[in-house]
Structure 1
């Protein structure tokens, strides 16, 4: 049961406070080291938890902290810029990790420990503090998710449960991060062993050369995958791809739910680029966990073998076997871009139960030629062990574009009350006038969404690619654009 501390409530961590059991503390610190999280760079997933806590509880400061042996380190902060760590004693977080439930201090000036804390006694003047422990599956409390205010206040049991859910989301993200690193190490060890076995049959000189090459490839793959662990559920911006223009848009149906739509664009080798867009079944923390797992898996699988069908098959296996995914499944389109000497791109797209992408180009009549790109036979990802995935290859020439979306777009209601549907979307693209650049496609679709009387009932993710006319392609590529918005009815609320 969660306690709200008061001046008369000698809860654990108040006053002089209990001294942590040495064996328990040793085990806790070992768990902190196991997750290898201390002093890591900023990570958008954790930053979003801090920002979400600030918005949900309408407090000026929210943090995600990890408690070390002698310090409290801030993994993410909202409203507390420039602070990386503080001493552990006296520390509010240091008290919070000594208890199984959340710690709530309605007025810090009435608390013997909190009253001496630098955040309370100093210029910031914190008067309210609440924290939920970030707890591992084997019971170790690594740190806390905290909310702070400059005036005394109380919170409800429902609020405390929400704060505990945010702490659980942080724990899930750390588990995914650890699981991904372990899986990568195991895969690299297996591949290295297979390579060594094959090379034993060759001459010593050839075996040594191949082993050196494989070691370099393994090192590069590990470095590339480690960098993907720092990515967020949605990339803050798209990369600049030489000879290609990119644009994206993400619109949430509700600011209170974490959506399951995702997309990304990234290089797989010196010349080729990969892209994907998908939609996880459901919403909320569980869907966000699967979204993170899907993004990390797709990026990692492409570093090993970028073949689109192989990548989706790998994701299918992971969703069926990883306990973090539960029984959730997703749809996705995964594509591979290969530039050609004439400025065009060869595009190979594999489908896993996702709505069609659309290949568009101007026609002779002044309208737009539209062709659906949906390989036949692509099944849901994470639903069946023997799922089949299909792919198709086509040429994206200068002046042409590719339009990808999630089903929140086609399920949106028109003024007549009917869903827009694939026919409505095809008609919208066919009747467009003007440029077919990636940015124009996204901007016009956003205008269409804004004009819908009821907005959207589900999250909408858009990803567009276009090849500029050869005369207008800069040497360094085309700058990408990114948009992230909520539906208009939610702006300014809570």
Structure 2
């Protein structure tokens, strides 16, 4: 019994001795690992006195900077390791905030190495206090931000390249847009003419177009239209429509015939899987009488009605009901109307970008609408072509971003006779 007991006691002693030895080795390993972790951590560590003098620094930071430990400890302050701009920021912002808050984190600064190169870092500092709450020293952690800075530079480069490409595309769109509009409207004896094109977005070419041009025997043609869609495809249709209208008017200036020719061309050209169409209003103007009036015949292919503002202050839409979209059907119905423009009368043609704009004044983003435009015209009448276009430009400006479609407006007026002409 005693031998067995002694044997067991012996094993217990050996077991305790073994456990104690392993514990000692484990403790030593922990101590060694803690020191090694500090010295060779993947980030820089340093401790400074309250005046900024470096008291302790790890090997990682020394390797980054290219200094020996004796070069820094007790000899330099943390701010001495920063660039000139960093030192200014440290003195004016970093140090005061750290003093007030006791901690500051994630501040982007740059370290200056022994060879003069720079290392971007993210700095976090904490004030260590004693048991009495008084500050003892400052512990600082520095994260290498070189990879992050390289990523940010690449991201910035890519963004700048995208901006340059966008600007190039905008210039191209603006140039293409200009080619789809007349460089200047023709001067018509006995008429005042004004026009405006409002671009909703510089990123895409719009499909609105207009023109005014001379025809034979003292007559004049004008048109204003809107192609479905935007971009290069719409621009191709716009170009085709403009030149077809002018050519068709020379061949047969009757407005209904002009639009019928355009309808045939578009229907034949775009009758596949990607149909294209437009709305157009075409007018034929002929001087009439000795008093300077004009006879105007308008044909509409699904286009918003023109607005006539009379010299007596009245205004109304011209009736062109039932006109069908140009290019959809082989034989589109064309609606026509004929009026006489007298001295002081103004005729306004517009695309639906104006009436479909969202208004900001109501706070609900409602469409501006046909009735609002008519009220606007009645408030203007009697007026002139140039004053009408100026008023519409100001109106569009009040809509701001609510104008989500290009808008073209064309106005003509018969000027009132001067006092000398009346005599």
Same fold (TM over 0.5): yes
**Matched residue of 2:380: which SS?**
coil
1:341 alignment partner in structure 2: 289
Distance in 2 between residues matched to 1:472 and 1:458, nearest whole Å: 43
Alignment of 1:330-409 (within 5 A): 330-342=278-290, 343-363=292-312, 368-409=313-354
Q: Residue 346 of structure 2 contacts residue 383 of structure 2 at CA under 8 Å; is this kept in 1?
A: yes
C-alpha deviation, 1:376, in angstroms: 1.9
Distance in 1 between residues matched to 2:188 and 2:311, nearest whole Å: 23
Residue by residue, what CA displacement relative to the aligned partner does 1:311-357 show, whole Å, maximum 9, x if unpaired? 00000000011259941100000000000133000000000000010
Distance in 1 between residues matched to 2:241 and 2:411, nearest whole Å: 20
1:238 alignment partner in structure 2: 185
Distance in 1 between residues matched to 2:203 and 2:281, nearest whole Å: 27
Alignment of 1:301-320 (within 5 A): 301-320=248-267
C-alpha deviation, 1:468, in angstroms: 0.2
C-alpha deviation, 1:472, in angstroms: 7.3
Structure 2 CA distance for partners of 1:395 and 1:473, relative to 1, 3 Å: farther
1:447 matched to 2:357? The reply is no
Alignment of 1:193-208 (within 5 A): none
Distance in 2 between residues matched to 1:425 and 1:473, nearest whole Å: 35
2:368 alignment partner in structure 1: 420
**Matched residue of 2:390: which SS?**
helix
**Matched residue of 1:240: which SS?**
coil
**Matched residue of 1:385: which SS?**
coil
Distance in 2 between residues matched to 1:473 and 1:449, nearest whole Å: 38
Q: Residue 223 of structure 2 contacts residue 283 of structure 2 at CA under 8 Å; is this kept in 1?
A: yes
C-alpha deviation, 1:232, in angstroms: 2.9
Alignment of 1:26-425 (within 5 A): 232-322=179-269, 326-342=274-290, 343-363=292-312, 368-414=313-359, 415-416=361-362, 417-425=365-373
Q: Residue 359 of structure 1 contacts residue 403 of structure 1 at CA under 8 Å; is this kept in 2?
A: yes
Structure 2 CA distance for partners of 1:472 and 1:273, relative to 1, 3 Å: farther
Provide the aligned length of Structure 1 versus Structure 2.
255
Q: Residue 290 of structure 1 contacts residue 324 of structure 1 at CA under 8 Å; is this kept in 2?
A: no
Structure 1 unaligned segments of length 5 or more: list them.
1-153, 174-230, 475-494
Structure 2 CA distance for partners of 1:312 and 1:427, relative to 1, 3 Å: same
Distance in 2 between residues matched to 1:406 and 1:281, nearest whole Å: 12
Structure 2 unaligned segments of length 5 or more: list them.
1-159
Larger Rg: 2
Residue by residue, what CA displacement relative to the aligned partner does 1:270-323 show, whole Å, maximum 9, x if unpaired? 310000000000000000000000000000000000000000000000001125
Residue by residue, what CA displacement relative to the aligned partner does 1:183-218 show, whole Å, maximum 9, x if unpaired? xxxxxxxxxxxxxxxxxxxxxxxxxxxxxxxxxxxx
Structure 2 CA distance for partners of 1:407 and 1:351, relative to 1, 3 Å: same
After TM superposition, the score normalised by the length of structure 1 is: 0.48
As a proportion of its length, which structure holds more helix?
2
After TM superposition, the score normalised by the length of structure 2 is: 0.56
C-alpha deviation, 1:428, in angstroms: 0.7
Structure 2 CA distance for partners of 1:345 and 1:280, relative to 1, 3 Å: same
C-alpha deviation, 1:362, in angstroms: 3.4
Q: Residue 272 of structure 1 contacts residue 338 of structure 1 at CA under 8 Å; is this kept in 2?
A: yes
2:32 alignment partner in structure 1: none
2:25 alignment partner in structure 1: none
C-alpha deviation, 1:473, in angstroms: 10
C-alpha deviation, 1:451, in angstroms: 1.6
Distance in 1 between residues matched to 2:249 and 2:419, nearest whole Å: 31
